[in-house]
Amino acid sequence: MEETLRELERRALQELEQCEDSNQLEAWRLRFLGKKGQLTAVLRGMAKLSEDERPRIGRLANEIRDALEEARVSRQDALKEKERRRRLESERLDVTVPGWRFAVGGLHPLTRIIEEIEEIFLGMGFEIREGPEVELDYYNFEALNIPKDHPARDMQDTFYITEEILMRTHTSPMQARTLEKTCPSVPVKIIVPGRVYRRDEDDATHSHSFVQVEGLMVDRGVRMSDLKGVLTVFVRGMFGEDRQIRLRPSYFPFTEPSAEVDVSCPLCDGAGCRVCKGSGWIEILGAGMVHPYVLEKAGYDPDEVSGFAFGLGVERTAMLKYGIDDIRHFYMNDLHFLRQFRRGL
Ligand code: FA5
């Protein structure tokens, strides 16, 4: 009997070691310690024992039951601890693992330049306006002193939607639109960034669609020297404090006098290089004093008020600033090109 009990204890302890979860542990408990368990079965056989053997075997059986119960509890604790560790391990957050790399875009170089231009003019008290890209012939040409048969139309041929509706060829129509609305109040100080269209052949410096920024200032007593001052502040803000500007006589039907404005070449500092074609100067915009015809057409009295206007090519400005040799780079969507301008957003 004693031997059977000892053997039972050994087997129970052995099997206990193999229990790996609470289900197995419960099954083990029922198998050895339950009412229909093996220990109870052995104890039932005690009736056959002699009077003197019974208490000894009874004590041994109790000891074995207590020992097995104790072993079960400690196995249960060990399994719980093992499970806790496993869970901790699987839930551990490794903060040193590199994160996902998301492809982040950046602003297009032209958008950047437009924002820079806006910043400089906002600093001088100009407001920003926008106008329609699909424009009436009236604002694009007529109101700017370019009647139907005027030769200046040849230089700005465009995409016509109807006889009277076209894709605007410059941002200057916003001169006429704005003055018409603001008349008779002054001052008017606006810049107008926007896309324009022309029937130009695409090449290294021309595109059939490009961006301009129009500038317009109308007030009492505005003079050519104000134009020169404002453009000097702009050019130095954009290309550096050492830049000079030069006004060359030119012709636009909607300004009088008119000028082409050159900036001293930022690449060779005016000494002459390939980019400025040896002259030391690069043309960046057209400008002039607002023509009395334009003021009158909008309702202003040209004897009372005067103003200046200018039209700047944004691609040409960006090309000069970043040393880009072909305007088509802006429109090819080549990531090698675009990524160079990605710093920040
Ligand atoms: C004009 O468009 C006038 N509206 C500018 C103006 C405004 C004069 C206000 C007086 C008063 P122009 O055609 O020169 O002018 O164009 C102005 C600028 O646009 C040029 O200096 C050049 O930088 C840019 N530009 C002209 N054509 C193209 C083209 N096909 N591709 C890219 N840039 C161009």
The CATH number for 156's domain is 3.30.930.10
Within a domain: 40:
yes
> According to the annotation, is 296 in a ligand binding site?
no
β partners of residue 134 = 167
Considering the domain architecture, whether residues 25 and 151 belong to the same structural domain is answered as no
For ligand 1, atom 29, the nearest C-alpha belongs to 206
Name the residue of 113, 158, 210 whose CB sits within 8 Å of the most ligand 1 atoms, as the mutation to test its pocket. 210
Within a domain: 301:
yes
Within a domain: 14:
yes
Token pair for 158: 């465009």
Last residue within a domain, chosen from 91, 118, 144? 91
Reported as a single tens digit per residue, the pLDDT across 122-168 is: 999 999 999 999 999 999 999 999 999 999 898 889 999 999 999 99
Considering the domain architecture, whether residues 78 and 193 belong to the same structural domain is answered as no
For ligand 1, atom 31, the nearest C-alpha belongs to 206
Between 331 and 205, residue with greater pLDDT: 331
Within a domain: 188:
yes
| CB of 256 sitting under 6 A from ligand 1 | no
**Into how many domains does the chain fold?**
2
Considering the domain architecture, whether residues 168 and 231 belong to the same structural domain is answered as yes
Considering the domain architecture, whether residues 87 and 118 belong to the same structural domain is answered as no
Percentage of residues in the chain with pLDDT exceeding 90?
62
344 band by pLDDT with thresholds 50, 70 and 90:
low
Cis (ω within 30 of 0) for the bond into 147?
Answer: no
Rounded to two decimals, what is the model's pTM? Answer: 0.73
For ligand 1, atom 10, the nearest C-alpha belongs to 287
* Residue ranges making up the domain that contains 155: 109-340
Considering the domain architecture, whether residues 218 and 168 belong to the same structural domain is answered as yes
Within a domain: 133:
yes
Reported as a single tens digit per residue, the pLDDT across 110-135 is: 999 999 999 999 999 999 999 999 99
| CB of 213 sitting under 6 A from ligand 1 | no
| CB of 206 sitting under 6 A from ligand 1 | yes
Considering the domain architecture, whether residues 178 and 259 belong to the same structural domain is answered as yes
User: What is the residue-averaged pLDDT of the chain?
Assistant: 92
Within a domain: 67:
yes
Within 13 Å, how many C-alpha atoms sit on residue 155's CB side? 9
Among 175-179, 237-241, 260-264, 270-274, which stretch is predicted with the lowest mean pLDDT? 270-274
